[in-house]
């Protein structure tokens, strides 16, 4: 399978920040999440073999051994090629992203979504956004062995500001048997988003953070099961607060969300330090934006410029703003 010599296929997908309800997206819960302006991009052009480049790294995949996972950055391409069975693909794949690396903002998922979107387009296959989100989830779970929920896949595909319900998705199923999540776009109903996203600078791995908690949940540990049930209910209550711009209520729910994650050991020292700094500076709410163990936090504050300066001075690596823009975009240029 080749790419046309005259054109190139370009696909991109955004990062995301969990505002409320995470990480119950992997436990049949509910999440409010928003996309970021930062995106991952995949460009396919014609080549004599399958060449993959990212920054100053490159690899050529040709023999059967080349497609076995090797624990490096290029495993995302190997996993997608295996899943789609595109071993005869001849193309140059260029990968780039301005989403902070290992920041808990769905950066790796955005790359996978872009890659899968580009390759489906190349094959002439049309699929619904729901199907693509579930397809990305299958690759992450069954090929890359990443333990995480469904928020990342749905947000990188759909983009925007969304209330998402993942009930009946507590247990993973095959692609043909998965229920689709319920997704309600809220961007046109919310006039302001007084939040900033703060990357701590501490790298995180969602699988490392979530796998032990997942095992505790599957074993029925009351602290985990009841904690995640409560977080999901916070999200459903928070939807009304968000739509009514009731920021004191929304902030309290964010804080309760984070307190439970702390109790379960799913936060991290640097996350908690910056959250405390934000609250001392008047933040109405602050919590993890992802799974924890490093990564990023999200802060609700009435003066975003002021709190951004304070957190930057306190050691934040990156300060980002929510941007409810488009999800997966694929085009031929």
Give the tokens for residue 2. 């080749």
Tell me the CATH number at 258: 3.30.70.890
Tell me the CATH number at 114: 3.30.230.10
The C-alpha atoms of residue 302 and residue 247 are separated, in whole angstroms, by: 9
* Total number of domains in the chain: 2
241-287 pLDDT, tens digit each: 999 999 999 999 999 999 999 999 888 899 999 999 999 999 999 99
210 and 223 inside one domain: yes
Band of pLDDT at residue 4, cut at 50, 70 and 90: low
Q: What is residue 149's DSSP assignment? A: -
78 and 92 inside one domain: yes
1 inside domain: no
206 and 123 inside one domain: no
168 inside domain: yes
300 and 165 inside one domain: no
125 and 255 inside one domain: no
Q: Are 234 and 21 in contact (CB under 8 A)?
A: yes
157 inside domain: yes
The C-alpha atoms of residue 188 and residue 95 are separated, in whole angstroms, by: 32
47-66 pLDDT, tens digit each: 999 999 998 899 999 888 89
200-253 pLDDT, tens digit each: 888 755 545 566 888 999 999 999 999 999 999 999 999 999 999 999 999 999
Among 105, 109, 153, smallest CA distance to 132 is for: 153
200 and 237 inside one domain: yes
Query: What is the tally of helices (H) and strands (E) in the chain?
Result: 9, 12
- Domain housing 222: 189-321
23 inside domain: no
177 and 201 inside one domain: no
Residue 295 pLDDT more than 90?
no
100 and 158 inside one domain: yes
Among 18, 35, 27, 20, smallest CA distance to 235 is for: 20
65 and 163 inside one domain: yes
The C-alpha atoms of residue 74 and residue 76 are separated, in whole angstroms, by: 5
């Amino acid at each position: 399978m080749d790419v046309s010599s005259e054109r190139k296929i370009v696909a991109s997908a955004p990062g995301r920040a969990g505002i409320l309800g995470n990480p119950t997206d992997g436990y049949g819960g509910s999440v409010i999440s928003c996309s970021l302006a930062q995106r991952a991009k995949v460009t396919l052009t014609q080549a004599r073999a399958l060449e993959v480049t990212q920054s100053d790294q490159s690899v050529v995949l040709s023999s059967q051994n080349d497609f076995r996972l090797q624990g490096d950055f290029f495993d995302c391409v190997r996993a997608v090629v295996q899943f789609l069975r595109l071993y005869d693909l001849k193309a140059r794949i260029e990968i780039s992203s301005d989403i902070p690396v290992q920041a808990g903002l769905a950066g790796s998922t955005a790359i996978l979504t872009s890659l899968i979107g580009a390759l489906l387009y190349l094959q002439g296959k049309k699929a619904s956004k729901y199907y693509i989100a579930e397809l990305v989830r299958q690759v992450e779970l069954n090929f890359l062995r990443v333990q995480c929920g469904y928020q990342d896949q749905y947000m990188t595909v759909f983009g925007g500001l969304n209330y998402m319900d993942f009930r009946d998705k507590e247990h993973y199923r095959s692609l043909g048997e998965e229920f689709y999540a319920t997704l309600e776009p809220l961007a046109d109903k919310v006039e302001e988003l007084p939040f900033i996203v703060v990357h701590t600078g501490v790298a995180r791995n969602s699988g490392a953070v979530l796998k032990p908690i997942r095992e505790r949940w599957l074993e029925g540990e009351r602290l985990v099961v009841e904690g995640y049930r409560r977080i999901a209910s916070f999200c459903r209550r928070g939807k009304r607060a968000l739509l009514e711009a009731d920021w004191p209520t929304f902030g309290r729910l964010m804080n309760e969300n984070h307190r439970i994650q702390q109790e379960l050991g799913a936060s991290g020292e640097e996350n908690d330090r910056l959250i405390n700094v934000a609250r001392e500076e008047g933040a109405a709410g602050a919590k993890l934006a992802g799974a924890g163990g490093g990564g990023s936090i999200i802060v609700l504050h009435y003066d975003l410029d002021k709190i951004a300066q304070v957190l930057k001075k306190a050691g934040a690596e990156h300060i980002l703003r929510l941007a409810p823009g488009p999800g997966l975009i694929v085009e031929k240029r």
